[in-house]
C-alpha cells in the first residue's frame, strides 16, 4: 500500500495537525494507523465490488477509504460534527461515499439502507467501533433485523471473546447467547495497541458476525427467553434453580422444580453450562407453565 493512504502514522499526524483536531475521550476515538490491519479487516469482511457497506464512526476516513476502493458504495455514520469537514477533505477523491451526521443508536437504519443501496444488494457492516458503546450498537443492529450479510468490527478483545464464547468457559454469558441467537460469531484476529493513535488501554480483536437466516433457536416468546437467560447468569456462582427462583417470584419452588424435571434440565447446574438450545427448552417450559 502506498503512503498516500490515510492509515499511516505520518498522514494521520498531518491531517490532525492541519485541523488542530483533539481527541474526545467521551467518544472513544482511536484511529487506525496501520494499513496492514485495514487489509486484514477487509479480507475477513468479504467485501467486494457488488457490496454496499455501512461504517460506524469513520474518524478521519482511514477505513472508509479502503472500503470505498473495494466496495460499490459506503455509507458512514459519524456523530462528531468536527470530523465532517475533515472527511470531506480526506475522502474527496471517492464519489461512492456518503457520510451521515447521525447517531447510529437513534438512526432508522432500515430507511437508510432503502435510500442508499440497490434493492437486494449484499450489505455488510464494517467498523472500528468506539469501545465504550460496542454492545448497545451491535444489539441494536441485530434486534432491528437489518438485511445484512455480515458485521465485521474491531472491538475490545475481552468483549469479542465473550461474544464468540462456548459454553462452560469463563467468557460465556448472557451476551454470548444474545449475539449467537442472531449470528455465527468468530474472533478472526487479535490486534496490538500500537496500530492506533492514540493507543487504547485495552487489547483489541476483530470479530466477524455472520447473520443467521433464522434465529439459532425458535422460542415461544423472545423477550421471555432473553429474560430467563439473563436471570440464569444474574449471579454466576448460584445454581440455575436459585437464580430462576429470584427471577420468577410468581412461581413457587415446587412448580419450578416440576418444569425443570419436565424439560430435563438439572436445576443444580450453573447458567454457563447450558447451551442456547437448552435455554430455549427451559424458557419455553417456563413460559407454558406461566401462561397455560
59 and 109 belong to one structural domain: yes
Residues 90-143: pLDDT tens digits? 999 999 999 999 999 999 999 999 999 999 999 999 999 988 899 999 999 999
134 and 20 belong to one structural domain: yes
189 and 283 belong to one structural domain: no
Domain that holds residue 45: 9-211
CA dist 145 to 138, 139, 214, 221, Å?
A: 11, 10, 10, 16
In this prediction, residue 30 carries a pLDDT of 86
Q: Which three cell numbers stand for residue 62?
A: 482511514
Residue 232 CA, distance from chain mean position: 23
In total, how many domains does the chain have?
Answer: 2
The verdict on whether residue 246 carries a ligand-binding annotation is no
SS3 81: helix
Q: Which three cell numbers stand for residue 83?
A: 470530523
The verdict on whether residue 201 carries a ligand-binding annotation is no
Tell me if 16 sits within 8 A of 60, measured CB to CB.
yes
- Would residue 279 count as lying in a domain? yes
- Would residue 59 count as lying in a domain? yes
Mean of pLDDT values over 25-52: 90
SS3 260: helix
In this prediction, residue 23 carries a pLDDT of 79
Of 12-26, 125-139, 148-162, which range is least confident?
A: 12-26
- Would residue 217 count as lying in a domain? no
CA distance 104 to 134: 11
In this prediction, residue 197 carries a pLDDT of 86
pTM of the model: 0.93
Mean of pLDDT values over 240-267: 96
Whether 1 shows a pLDDT value over 50: the answer reads no
Q: Which of 208, 21, 26 is nearest to 130 (CA)?
A: 26
Instruction: Tell me what the pLDDT averaged over the chain comes to.
Output: 94
The verdict on whether residue 28 carries a ligand-binding annotation is no
121 and 144 belong to one structural domain: yes
In this prediction, residue 24 carries a pLDDT of 74
Whether 263 shows a pLDDT value over 60: the answer reads yes
Mean of pLDDT values over 78-100: 96
The verdict on whether residue 57 carries a ligand-binding annotation is yes
Question: Burial of 81 by CB count in 10 Å (0-12 exposed, 13-18 middle, 19+ buried)?
Answer: exposed
Whether 162 shows a pLDDT value over 60: the answer reads yes
SS3 21: coil
Tell me if 269 sits within 8 A of 240, measured CB to CB.
yes
Whether 210 shows a pLDDT value over 70: the answer reads yes
SS3 175: helix
- Would residue 206 count as lying in a domain? yes
CATH number assigned to the domain comprising residue 199: 3.40.50.150
Question: Burial of 114 by CB count in 10 Å (0-12 exposed, 13-18 middle, 19+ buried)?
Answer: exposed
In this prediction, residue 26 carries a pLDDT of 66
Q: SS in 3 state form for 155-216? A: EEHHHHHHHCCCCCCCCCCHHHHHHHHHEEEEEEEEECHHHEECCCCCCEEEEEEEECCCCC
The verdict on whether residue 119 carries a ligand-binding annotation is no
Final residue of a domain: which of 211, 243, 269? 211
In this prediction, residue 84 carries a pLDDT of 97
Q: What percent of the chain clears pLDDT 70, i.e. is strictly above it? A: 98
CA distance 281 to 273: 14
Beta bridge partners of 151: 125, 209
Q: How confident is the model at residue 37 (pLDDT cuts 50, 70, 90)?
A: very high
The verdict on whether residue 78 carries a ligand-binding annotation is yes
104 and 226 belong to one structural domain: no
CATH number assigned to the domain comprising residue 227: 1.10.8.100
200 and 226 belong to one structural domain: no
Mean of pLDDT values over 158-183: 97
Residue 197, C-beta contacts closer than 8 angstroms, at least 6 positions apart? 9, 12, 13, 16, 30, 31, 33
Amino acid at each position: 500500500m502506498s503512503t498516500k493512504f490515510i492509515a499511516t502514522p505520518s498522514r494521520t499526524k498531518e491531517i490532525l495537525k492541519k485541523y488542530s483536531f483533539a481527541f474526545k475521550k467521551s467518544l472513544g476515538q482511536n484511529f487506525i494507523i496501520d494499513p496492514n490491519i485495514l487489509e486484514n479487516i477487509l479480507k475477513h469482511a468479504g467485501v467486494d465490488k457488488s457490496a454496499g457497506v455501512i461504517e460506524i464512526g469513520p474518524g478521519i476516513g482511514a477505513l472508509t477509504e479502503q472500503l470505498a476502493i473495494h466496495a460499490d458504495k459506503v455509507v458512514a455514520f459519524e456523530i462528531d460534527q468536527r470530523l465532517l469537514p475533515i472527511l470531506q477533505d480526506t475522502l474527496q477523491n471517492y464519489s461512492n461515499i456518503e457520510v451521515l451526521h447521525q447517531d447510529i443508536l437513534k438512526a432508522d437504519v432500515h430507511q437508510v439502507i432503502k435510500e442508499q443501496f440497490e434493492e437486494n444488494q449484499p450489505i455488510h457492516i464494517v467498523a472500528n467501533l468506539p469501545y465504550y458503546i460496542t454492545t448497545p450498537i451491535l444489539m441494536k443492529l441485530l434486534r432491528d433485523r437489518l438485511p445484512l450479510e455480515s458485521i465485521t468490527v474491531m472491538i475490545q478483545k475481552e468483549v469479542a471473546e465473550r461474544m464468540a464464547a462456548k459454553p462452560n468457559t469463563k467468557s460465556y454469558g448472557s451476551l454470548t447467547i444474545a449475539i449467537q441467537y442472531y449470528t455465527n460469531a468468530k474472533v478472526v484476529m487479535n490486534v496490538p495497541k500500537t496500530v492506533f493513535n492514540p493507543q487504547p488501554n485495552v487489547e483489541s480483536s476483530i470479530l466477524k458476525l455472520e447473520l443467521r437466516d433464522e434465529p439459532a433457536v425458535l422460542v415461544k416468546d423472545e423477550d421471555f427467553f432473553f429474560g430467563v437467560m439473563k436471570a440464569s447468569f444474574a449471579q454466576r456462582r448460584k445454581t440455575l434453580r436459585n437464580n430462576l427462583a429470584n427471577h420468577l417470584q410468581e412461581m413457587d419452588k415446587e412448580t419450578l422444580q416440576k418444569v425443570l424435571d419436565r424439560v430435563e434440565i438439572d436445576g443444580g447446574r450453573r447458567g454457563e453450562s447450558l447451551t442456547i438450545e437448552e435455554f430455549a427448552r427451559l424458557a419455553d417450559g417456563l413460559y407454558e407453565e406461566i401462561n397455560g
